[in-house]
Amino acid sequence: MIFRRCYISGVLYGDKTGDALKDPDVVKFLMVMALCNTVVPIKSNDGTISYKAQSQDEEALVNAASNLNMLLTSKDSSGIAEICFNGSKFYYEVLDVLEFTSDRKRMSIVVKEVKSGKFLLLTKGADEAIFPRSCPGEQTKTYLEAVEMYSHLGLRTLCLGCRDLEEDEYKEWSKKFQDASCSLDNREHKIAEVCNSLEQGIHILGITAIEDRLQDGVPETIKLLRKAGINVWMLTGDKQTTAIQIGLLCNLITPESKGQLLSINGKTEDDILQSLERALTIMKTALERKDLAFVLDGWALEIILKRSLESFTKLAMMSRTAICCRMTPLQKAQLVGILKSSGSLTLAIGDGGNDVRMIQEANVGVGISGREGLQAARAADYSIGKFKFLRRLILVHGRYSYNRTAFISQYSFYKSLLICFIQILFSFSSGLSGTSIFNSISLMAYNVFYTSLPVMTIIFDKDISEATVLRYPQILLYSQAGRLLNRSTFAEWFGRSLYHAFVVFLITINAYADEKSDMEELSMVALSGCIWLQAFVVTLDTNSFTCPQITLIWGNFVAFYMINLILSAVPTLQMHTVMWHLCNQPSYWITMALIVAAGMGPVLALRYLRNVYRPSAIDVLQQIEQTDGHAQAPGNLESSTGTYLDYLLTDLRRNKSSIHQPLLSDSASSR
């Protein structure tokens, strides 16, 4: 944050150069900037002074004051603050700190001039918190105009003021403040009342305007997330005008020529409810190509939550973008809770202590660790260094994680059902005698050794490259709609396991029907058929091959034969010489080839027909990568690809869960 401009005693500073430090009002204004904070000055060995602050606002104000010769040099343990101005030193004793809270929206300190013994109340805060407490006859209109002007420039404003205190008045108030601070019952409310009693009759000194610079990559990240079908809301404590300007800068909302911003406000409760219904009507009747968003403040939200929660929930579900300004931490969490209760999956991202409640309320919390501290990062599920890293967290890692989870969960059912179906088929052929076709060692090793390692290859799998995902972020809609994990895909895996069980069982039984084979040989042939099929299934469903993947899939396949050859050499086991005998028979290898051909042939044929005649959005992007070698599709090809992807994903964009209901969602209507 950077201190840009200020307004003092009817004069706008920041546009022109000049010496205003001789003006007593300016000097007093700078003194409040330097003192009214909880900043700790740190002096290095070379004599330079740096500041450690709880918020970037305070740090920006103190640094600005020091650049204007009002230097905060030290604060000792006894509460004495040293100010150096134009070579002269001034000492102030900090008596009490009236801390900032989201409800008060201001902070104050009571100081005593060491030299004169004069008591002062120094205050800074939001204009809506300071102006009502100004002294009678204070001309606040010009200050309000300055606040509006700075807000239109996208600057964050603070109002600074002060008040002279009598010693008796302070001592009487200090006793009340101490009693409230020591209270065990309703302590916060009592402290707020005592603080409010002192913060009256404030003389307004001026307005500060601070530029809260966007991090690099914020507009591009928000644009990608919106293109990926993610609804983006901005919850902030800034003024409405400032929030709107920031929304325009970061691509959150579009200019009026392409979009429309619906304002939900009013002077009375009825006016607010009427504007809510009006916004809901416009949202229902607007054309899809119109980019609509709504904006409301904390006071309007408080009224809506009490009197028209249902209508607001409908509006929230229809809007892709919203700006909620003047929000307290509690209201931020309430908004996230409303979206969660309506069935949406929510992700909250923040960088300060005011965002902790919101982050903890969301399904997924992301904290940005930086100059605002680590409170948000420690309370979050994920911690990132910059906002732009969110694009990779969601579009790349989030999407890959969903794809891998979808495969692992369904493949685990497949391999377990396969062995169970073979057991069931054998029980019918054996007259329900209760005899198992597999011995106990094979059943144990099946899940522990033979089929566990190939599943781990999926952690390296990427269906399309990271560059392609970031170039075509709308592919995330495919995952949001649950296209890889739903009732239909689960039914496919169920049907595949049943079909493969029939293939393995029938080919094994018929291939060895005329031979004098014992039960152990029949069991090993059926088990070998399962292992062969699963090796080809994992290979077929793998999109990218790396050395670890090839090693785990086919190395595990080789290990299966090595383990069983070793076990066959143990005389005390029932399977003694079984694998050695089978491997020396040509009929065994012919049986394996028949099982693979019969089991994988129809699967390959169906997949080929689907890719040719009904390709999915993922298939289209894979074809581009195979053709060009990368996602840098030039010119018309890139444009046509994006258009075709939008066509394939149109139904998903309109209703992400209308066709396939995800199995890994909190509710059936999760978006």
List residues forming the annotated binding site. 58, 100, 124, 156, 236-238, 326, 332, 351, 354-355
- Alpha carbon distance 265, 279 (integer Å): 11
- Alpha carbon distance 229, 445 (integer Å): 44
Coil, strand or helix: which one is 499?
helix
Q: Amino acid identity of 46?
A: D
Q: Amino acid identity of 173?
A: W
Binding residues for ATP: 58, 100, 124, 156, 236-238, 326, 332, 354-355
- Alpha carbon distance 278, 308 (integer Å): 13
DSSP summary character for residue 54: S
Binding residues for Mg(2+): 351, 355
Q: Which of 404, 391, 416 is nearest to 664 (CA)?
A: 404
CA distances from 445 to 11, 463, 557, 559 (A): 83, 30, 13, 12
CA distances from 137 to 134, 198, 205, 338, 411 (A): 8, 18, 14, 43, 76
Phi/psi at 345 (nearest 5 deg)? -90, 125
Coil, strand or helix: which one is 627?
helix
- Alpha carbon distance 179, 177 (integer Å): 5
Phi/psi at 156 (nearest 5 deg)? -90, 130
Q: Are 135 and 103 in contact (CB under 8 A)?
A: no
Q: Are 1 and 155 in contact (CB under 8 A)?
A: no
In three-state form (DSSP H/G/I as H, E/B as E, the rest C), the secondary structure along 230-297 is CCEEEECCCCHHHHHHHHHHCCCCCCCCCEEEEEECCCCHHHHHHHHHHHHHHHHHCCCCCEEEEEEE
Phi-psi region of 288 (alpha: psi -120 to 50; beta: other; left: phi over 0): alpha
Q: Are 180 and 191 in contact (CB under 8 A)?
A: yes
Q: Amino acid identity of 657?
A: S
Q: Amino acid identity of 480?
A: Q
Q: List the beta strands (DSSP E) in 379-466.
A: 382-384
Q: What is the CA radius of gyration of the chain?
A: 35
Q: Are 485 and 405 in contact (CB under 8 A)?
A: yes
